[in-house]
Amino acid sequence: MEFSCKTGAANAMKTACLVVGVFKSNKLPAGTEALDTALGGQIKKVLKKQDFSGDVGQTQLLYEPNDCAAARLLLVGLGEQKDFKPRQMGLAILPAFQLLENSGATDCIVVLPNDEGDDDTYRLVRETVAAANAAQYRFEQCKSTKTPAKRPLKRGTLIVAGRKQLASATRAVAHASAIATGTKLAKDLANLPGNICTPTYLAEEAQKLGRRSSKLKVSVLTEKQMERLGMGSLLSVSRGSRQPAKLIVFEYQGGKADAKPIALVGKGLTFDAGGISIKPAANMDEMKYDMCGGASVFGAIAACVEMELPINVVGVVPSSENLPDGDANKPGDIVTSMSGQTIEILNTDAEGRLILCDALTYTERFKPAAVIDIATLTGACIVALGDQASGLLANDDKLAGELLECGTASGDRAWQLPLWDEYQRQLDSNFADMQNIGGKGAGTITAACFLSRFTKAFKWAHLDIAGTAWLSGANKGATGRPVPLLTEFLLKRAKVSM
């Protein structure tokens, strides 16, 4: 869906649907007030009927308003005026876009609810464009009959309050559209089943992404090459699978040749059955989503490419399956990682850290300015934070602070957990340098403690996205998180105006 921005009197604009916000208690944002005046008070007349309260996300569709060039007028509830923040815009307008998806309208005009003096235009536009794309998302690759929207929205126009807001609104459209491209890619890869989305499939998709830009180089390491590098931990996981592991490497060069890159390292477990420490059958299908960290790296790189961000970014995605097999890891096995540190595998289901540790060691060669790994790493993170926040742990407080801020700004939030030294003891092993599980308690923290032993060479943050990467139940599906958070961070590091 294409968006453009302009200023002007909304009542005179020809469109299939004019969309305007209404606060609770019949309070109108400036743009809606001006429209109501031009329409001789038609909006306030409707509000007097009290069918519409202005709760966040409430919608009221009116047809053929008088003295208006629009065929439809859609009122959208924005909640209490005093509580209104850009975040509410996304929540409020998503149902409106869903309604329009099922209507005959193929274009719409949205009047932004802020005043000429406000500086939140950029965020309001980002939220609006993100919501429009979310409402349009469908995953039908595996259905024999597709049911595309009959008349999907193709064009959206955003009315800003004043001319001096046009530049930031236009920038926001470009950024939001790129983030939507990345989010869609992450969702599509994640929603594919494990028999289609294998490590080899992911590697091929990475090569395809590489063809989108001359600034993006993609290479894929085979098991042979990983063996030569001494990736004994990663390869021990893949040994239990008939699908060969791949180490996918993106090198996006948008910045100066000698500028240190940001590295994103994403867990790409295309199916996690647990291995010999096999998982229970219920909901095991959802372990096709165990590659969502990797998918978010694809998405963030795709967004960089679309925005041509002036920054260098490296993406590393170790990809494997974790299955029970005669040749699979057994509890008690000891493997040697690329770093030389030995690991006693007490639970073969704690495999994410086993593939990530070698990928993190490999990442040292890029001399990164900072490394962020993203992984559906622990069920414990769902217990701690549910599906609202990703878990954040870091060996650098400044980096952690930046990511927390980016989470709040993008609405793709994270929450920090401690990485105190005292937790490291839980990984002591009688037989190797460390064991791969930390016993009862603090499962998300001990998983990060494990990774921290492979990240001493750089500033590093870890995002545990076990609770945020997909939704279960009736709305089962990938969320595309944390592509918005990662992209926000890259935009900030690239010092792009927002």
Catalytic residues: 279, 353
Between CA 118 and CA 291 the distance in angstroms is 41
Q: What is the DSSP string of 75-122?
A: EEE---GGG--HHHHHHHHHHHHHHHHTSS-SEEEEE--S-TT-S-HH
Q: Is 346 in the site for ligand BES (CB under 6 A)?
A: no
Is 274 strand, coil or helix? coil
Alpha-carbon distance of 84 to 468, in angstroms, equals 24
For residue 352, state whether it binds ligand BES (rule: CB under 6 A): yes
Exactly one of 127, 223, 272, 306 binds Zn ion (CB under 5 A); that residue is: 272
Q: Which stretch binds Mn ion (CB under 5 A): 4-12, 82-90, 254-262, 272-280?
A: 272-280
Nearer to Mn ion among residue 251 and residue 272 (C-beta) = 272
Taking the complex as a whole, how short is the minimal distance between the CB of residue 380 and ligand BES, in angstroms? 6
Residue nearest to Mn ion as judged by C-beta position: 349
419 in contact with ligand BES (CB under 6 A): no
Q: Compute the least distance from the CB of residue 447 to ligand BES, in Å.
A: 7
Binding mask 421-440 for ligand BES (x = CB under 6 A): ----------------x---
Which C-beta is closer to ligand BES: that of 335 or that of 466? 466
Stretch of residues binding Zn ion (CB under 5 A), selected from 166-174, 270-278, 293-301, 328-336: 270-278
Residue nearest to Zn ion (CB): 272
Contacts of 137 (CB under 8 A, 6+ apart): 184, 187
373 interacts with ligand BES by CB under 6 A = no
Instruction: CB nearer to Mn ion: give 55 or 327.
Output: 327
Do 394 and 371 form a contact (C-beta atoms < 8 A)? no
Kindly tell me which residue out of 73, 173, 380, 442 binds ligand BES, with binding defined by CB under 6 A. Answer: 380
Residues 318-357 that bind Mn ion (CB under 5 A): 349, 351
Which stretch in 7-15, 141-149, 348-356, 388-396 sits in contact with ligand BES by CB under 6 A?
348-356
The span of 9-17, 152-160, 266-274, 443-451 binding Mn ion (CB under 5 A) equals: 266-274
Contact between 390 and ligand BES by CB under 6 A: the answer reads no
Residue whose CB is less far from ligand BES, 122 or 450: 450
Residue that has been written with the tokens 């791949």 in this structure: 246
Question: Are the CB atoms for 24 and 79 separated by under 8 Å?
Answer: yes
Residue 414 near residue 407, CB atoms below 8 Å: yes
Binds ligand BES (CB under 6 A): choice among 213, 347, 424, 429: 347
Q: Which is nearer to ligand BES, 88 or 348 (CB)?
A: 348
Give me 348's structure tokens. 């073969």
Among 231, 488, 479, residue whose Cα is nearest residue 355: 231
Applying CB under 5 A, the span of 200-208, 212-220, 268-276, 454-462 interacting with Mn ion comes to 268-276
Q: Which does 466 bind (CB under 5 to 8 A by kind): ligand BES, Mn ion, Zn ion, none?
A: ligand BES
Q: Does the protein bind Zn ion through residue 352 (CB under 5 A)?
A: yes
Count of residues in contact with Zn ion, rule CB under 5 A = 4
**Is the alpha carbon torsion for 424, 430, 431, 436 positive or negative?**
negative
Pick the closest to residue 372 from 389, 387, 386, 359 (CA basis).
359
Please report, for residues 15, 18, 51, 66, 122, the alpha-carbon distance to residue 36 in angstroms, rounded to integers and kept in the order given.
17, 12, 18, 11, 25
Taking the chain, what is the end-to-end CA distance rounded to the nearest angstrom?
A: 21
Judged by CB under 5 A, does residue 272 bind Mn ion? yes
Residue 75 and residue 21: Cα distance in Å, rounded?
A: 6
CA neighbor of 305 nearest in space, from 260, 367, 251, 342: 251
376 binds ligand BES (CB under 6 A): yes
Tokens 């590093």, residue located: 460
* Interface with ligand BES (CB under 6 A), residue from 36, 205, 290, 306: 290
Alpha helices in 411-460 (DSSP H): 443-452
Closest approach, Cβ 488 to Mn ion, in A, equals: 29
- Report the candidate in 352, 239, 345 with the shortest Cα–Cα distance to residue 287: 352
For Zn ion, the closer CB: 74 or 350? 350
Q: Give the span between the Cα atoms of 463 and 394, in whole angstroms.
A: 9
Q: How far is the CB of 372 from Mn ion (least distance, A)?
A: 21
- Taking the complex as a whole, the smallest distance from the CB of residue 433 to ligand BES amounts, in Å, to 18
Residue ranges binding ligand BES (CB under 6 A): 272, 290, 347, 349-352, 376-380, 437, 443, 466
Residue ranges binding Zn ion (CB under 5 A): 269, 272, 290, 352
Residue ranges binding Mn ion (CB under 5 A): 272, 349, 351
